[in-house]
Amino acid sequence: MNPTLRQMRALVALAKTGNFTAAAAAMHVTQSALSGLIKELEQTLGARVVDRSTRRIVLTDIGRELYPLFSQMIDDLDGALANVADHTQLRKGVVRIAAPQLMCCTLVPEAVAAYRSQQPDIDVRVADSAVEHVIARVLSGESDFGIGPERDPAPQLETRELFEMPFSLVFPQGHPLESREQVTWQDLARYPFISLQGQFTERLQADMGAMLRDVSLKPANEVTFMTTALAMVSAGLGITVCLPYAEPLVQLYKLHMRPLEAPRLTRRFFVYTRAGRSLSPAAQSFIDFLFPYVDAKRSAARAQAA
């Protein structure tokens, strides 16, 4: 026995309305089509489910037994399908993002606000993390995707480049470097340098070692978060370097930012997802929004600089 969904719907509609005409209208079929579905169901079961008369229909004992079971199954299925439709049509959903703390102070909130203006029913949750923890959150499933700087390839990860930006110097107003037409990496060695702990400084030193063998950054202070470094620069305790996406925070601290030349060192940032795992419609929608949003912001910044 394998009754079809349409046959089950026909029995439920007939039981609820009490006649073939109303049941056919509820199912948006002709009365003869509805009658055919009931006959097919009875043939499948090998038993009658409806006693027919010229005035009314009456469910048989088997029909009365099947009606609440079929009705519950259909309600559960319709509820599940409606839930899927809400997700695919972005009427509901959750997006979980992991990103470095500095990015969560600047680019990410702006992107989330812009996305929510288009998709107000989607719940976007941001986990501000140490850079080293972003990928771990993605691999563990705590976050749908992560945004972070380039890391060594891993088979469990899929990557897509979001942007590439050059390092910039950050210094307080009135600093001696403010008057220079061009600021180079060699210039940094003469002033107290405030750096980040861990892979940020390690990779920066490696890049500089490959291109500037006679220059070595020796941090006067190493801190965990860039917000701390910016606060120390604001207090006159030194200078630091960061990427242009942090400019809103740099301005908040009333600091100045200048491109670093000779050489022009850059960092690439990627969107990280788990390999072989499909994203939810909401998470995929946010990623599809994020790339053109970042491109538009960078184009606007270049136009303003020109």
Question: Is residue 95 within 8 Å of 286, Cβ to Cβ?
Answer: yes
CB 181 within 8 A of CB 224: no
Q: Return the structure tokens found at 218.
A: 């020796």
Going residue by residue through the chain, which has 306 residues, state the pLDDT in tens, using 9 for 90 and above.
789 999 999 999 999 998 898 999 999 999 999 999 999 999 999 999 999 875 678 999 999 999 999 999 999 998 888 888 878 878 889 999 999 988 998 999 999 999 999 999 999 999 998 888 899 999 999 999 999 988 877 788 999 999 999 999 999 999 998 888 889 888 888 899 998 876 666 677 666 655 555 566 677 888 888 889 999 999 999 999 999 999 989 999 999 999 988 778 888 999 999 998 889 999 999 999 999 999 998 888 777 766
Ordered domains of the chain (ranges, CATH): 5-88 (1.10.10.10), 94-163+269-305 (3.40.190.10), 168-264 (3.40.190.10)
In angstroms, the CA 222 to CA 232 distance is 11
Cα→Cα distances 24→33, 35, 36, 69, Å: 8, 9, 11, 21
pLDDT attached to residue 172: 94
In terms of Cα–Cα distance, which of 199, 180, 181 is closest to 191?
A: 180
The predicted structure's pLDDT at residue 28: 93
Sign of the CA dihedral 177, 178, 184, 185?
A: positive
